[in-house]
Structure 1
Amino acid sequence: MADDSSGHEAPTRRDYMKYGGVVVGGGLLAGCAGQSDSGSTPETSYSVTLSPVGEVTFDTVPETAYAYNPHYADMAVAFGHGDAIASLGAPDAYTTSMNYYYDAVDGASIESEDLRAVWNDGVDKELFYDIGADVHFQDPCWLTSFTENWDQGDIEEVRENLGPWFGNRYSREYTQPPEGCREGYRHYTLWELSEQVAAVFREEERFKALQAESEELFSTIRANLPPEPERPTVGLVVFSDDSFRPYELNNPGFAKAHLRPFEAQDAFATSDQTYDENEGGRIDYEGLLEADPDVLLHSQGISGFFDVAAIRETLENHSVGSELTAVKNDRVYSSGTPFQGPLMNLFQLEMTAKQLYPDVFGEWPADGSEDTYPEISADEQLFDRQRVADISNGDI
């Protein structure tokens, strides 16, 4: 933090908002009860429970972990076990989005060349034997429904010969799992799921410390939201093939954990158009202009999949796209990824705060062409980078 002339620390924007408004009480993001009060590695076996896999027993803390989606890798990095991650579905694209944020956290990184690519026109079971993981961070219900060559027998084979499954896929969009998995299936918040992954690594204390930082940020945001009539209309989309796939802004599921707390108005929900984001519906330029959001957010804009700076230029040069209010007012932004763990969520909350409410939280200083999280002065930061890095590195 910057020092003032008297030698005392100057108040940051985070401090100003924290103490300048009514702070929401703690516990809003609290998850389910932790598995242990100790952050040390036990010498005996321990169990962690997660739907739909049930109670899973570990003899030792996993040293090698399979992951498909990056939020599990982000959880491992957050709790000091990033080196355990051996795979991702698409390492190049996923690590691009992760390292975008990690560049701002001392000691956090993940390299694509160290990871095996899981997806290659399917998921090859032999890859699991090649990796030899102690735990598989993937929902088996999703794997058997998403890939034709997997059935329950394959799931049991991997569990018995290699290591347990530990994943919950359908909490991300808060959707129903496939038939055969629905009875008793539980949906978790981001922090509930993170707590269980922390328990797998016996890092309950790091989880508690990091969750406390998240609760403070959440309270700061909630205490400083403008009155509802002053909040912008927001359109969340993905642009490809010269059309737009609209997404709901405030629906449940941790995919929207960086958007929902801001309670902005969903531009599509207030228009005459109806859609289901899980059905993959699309709209053209005219359809987007009909909704005409004040702010246009491109989902997964922070990734290796999309070039939002180029997309913005395409909109500016299009006869209809150039008429959009968000384009005219230069409010087309790269938005975060729905595949977010606890570290990524902190940054994505700060990023969204600045994109939606710059008059309150400060301007978002990036245009979508950057490869790393933009440098934000200490007085404009909404959470303490060094504290988060210390927690991740074990200095609780």
Structure 2
Amino acid sequence: MTDAPTRRTYLRRTAALAGAGLVAGCTGEGTGDSTDAPETDGGDAATGTSESTTGKGGASHSASMKPMGTVEFDGVPERVFTVFPQYADMAVALGHGEKVNSVYVPEMSGTTMNHYYHHLDGVSFEWEGLSDPLSEGLRKELLFELDSDVHLTDPAWASTQDNWDSADVEEVASQIGPWFGNFFSGTHAAPPEGYDYEYYTLWDLFGNVADVFQERERYEALASVHEELVSTIEESLPPKEERPTAVRVTLAAESDSFYTYHLNKPGYWLADTRPLGANDAFAEKDWGSLWGTVDYETMLEADPDVILHLWGMTPNYNMEDTLASLRDHPVGSQLTAVQNDRVYPAGMRYQGPIMNLFQIEMGAKQLYPDIFGEWPGYTNGEPYPDVPEGERLFDRQRVADIVNGDF
């Protein structure tokens, strides 16, 4: 490899060195046990942007996050590869959504994102025509075809995909563009061996990605909206013993069992339910991860006050059909949440910052209507419902202005 200029905006040499360090395992610290990889509050990684002058006379900047370490750039990315929509949502939030060239199941991810963006003037995500990076499994050939300036994807996760190994991870970093992502913070599951890893919150991840795009001010403005939202909710929550019991589930396609998820465990997959502090009806269940499977009888034994149906706001599920299945089932019809009409659609676990704001508000109204106002109901296939202005838990126009650069 040489330092000869190309059309790429990236310092590939830096990306190659970072990739080599990743696959070699570096120091071997924090490499396998999820309990040994601490969650960070952002720390140095969240303030890792720096500027210097390159030999070509341009201004460089850097962004830092494990497992990549510090990655240097000599320009803001123009072509952005994402797999899961939390990173596409981050790009939109930072004013760079038009640069995204791929996302998981574009119609599902894009439609769901736009269900929220519908309430933000001037904000949308053009998903039609985007590549689905997992339609045939993660294909290295697709990454070369897309020729992205940055891959907002975890190299540790990529190394676990079919037909991938450490050499493939390094090849992409050195010949196309750097990796910049952290997948296992979603569940706090153990990453593959050989990676120096840390767990980050959703908003710390967002701050690190903001450094890639040199959008620190936008990030801080949106983070303040999130902080105010969470503070408002936490200050108003009733004592724990007075909170409802709840479960987060997805009714299986054959309608005879539920995929179940915890509510209050660590990980950004739960960034929308954890601040709400509901009593998890399955809190004592150990599925070996954040999710498991239960049948109707087990669900009836738990008998939660509220059922939050994950993916219910996406086009992949029809909530009317889901409710009909529950009501028509001899055991499902006995569930308290079904009888009291407290089965609600929830969003996606792959949530970025904008999605997170709406999903926190949604859950607060579904769980605590007497405190945060009634959930207005959801019409299948339609955008996130209109909430009366006086009952909104965050300012839509403020968010739209930030995304549009007016802050």
Band the TM-score falls in, shorter-chain normalisation:
0.7 to 0.9
Give a deviation string over 1:235-285, Cα, whole Å, max 9, x none.
111111221121111000011011001111011126xxx331638632111
Of the three residues 33, 45, 49, the one matched with 2:60 is 45
TM-score, normalisation: structure 1: 0.87
Contact kept in structure 1, 2:337 and 2:343, CA below 8 Å: yes
For structure 2, which runs of at least 5 residues remain unmatched after alignment?
A: 1-39, 52-56
Deviation at 1:141, TM superposition (A): 1.1
Q: Flag as ranges the 4+ runs of structure 1 deviating above 3 A.
A: 29-33, 35-38
Q: Secondary structure at the match of 1:86?
A: strand
Deviation at 1:30, TM superposition (A): 6.8
How far apart, in 2, do the equivalents of 1:391 and 1:30 lie? 23
How far apart, in 2, do the equivalents of 1:366 and 1:114 lie? 31
How far apart, in 1, do the equivalents of 2:357 and 2:293 lie? 30
Of the three residues 310, 335, 340, the one matched with 1:324 is 335
Task: Write out aligned runs for 1:1-396 (5 A).
Answer: 31-32=42-43, 33-36=46-49, 43-145=58-160, 147-181=161-195, 184-240=196-252, 241=254, 242-269=256-283, 274-276=285-287, 278=289, 281-367=292-378, 369-396=380-407
Q: Secondary structure at the match of 2:260?
A: strand
**Equivalent AA in structure 2 for residue 237 of structure 1:** V
Structure 1 pair 37–333 and aligned structure 2 pair: CA distance change class (3 A): farther
**Equivalent AA in structure 2 for residue 156 of structure 1:** E
Q: Secondary structure at the match of 2:250?
A: strand
**Equivalent AA in structure 2 for residue 142 of structure 1:** W
Give a deviation string over 1:304-333, Cα, whole Å, max 9, x none.
322222111110111110100000100001
How far apart, in 2, do the equivalents of 1:277 and 1:217 lie? 32
**Equivalent AA in structure 2 for residue 378 of structure 1:** E
* Higher RCO structure, 1 or 2 (CA under 8 Å, sep 6+): 1
**Equivalent AA in structure 1 for residue 113 of structure 2:** M
Q: Percent identity?
A: 49
How far apart, in 1, do the equivalents of 2:347 and 2:270 lie? 9
**Equivalent AA in structure 1 for residue 354 of structure 2:** L
Deviation at 1:113, TM superposition (A): 1.4
**Equivalent AA in structure 2 for residue 211 of structure 1:** A
Contact kept in structure 1, 2:49 and 2:64, CA below 8 Å: no
How far apart, in 2, do the equivalents of 1:294 and 1:368 lie? 22
For structure 1, which runs of at least 5 residues remain unmatched after alignment?
A: 1-28
Structure 1 pair 316–368 and aligned structure 2 pair: CA distance change class (3 A): farther
Give a deviation string over 1:76-111, Cα, whole Å, max 9, x none.
100100011110121111112111111111122112
Aligned match of 1:3: none
**Equivalent AA in structure 2 for residue 263 of structure 1:** G
Aligned match of 2:10: none
Give a deviation string over 1:148-206, Cα, whole Å, max 9, x none.
2111111111111110000100001111112222xx31000011100010010000000
**Equivalent AA in structure 2 for residue 218 of structure 1:** V
Aligned match of 1:19: none
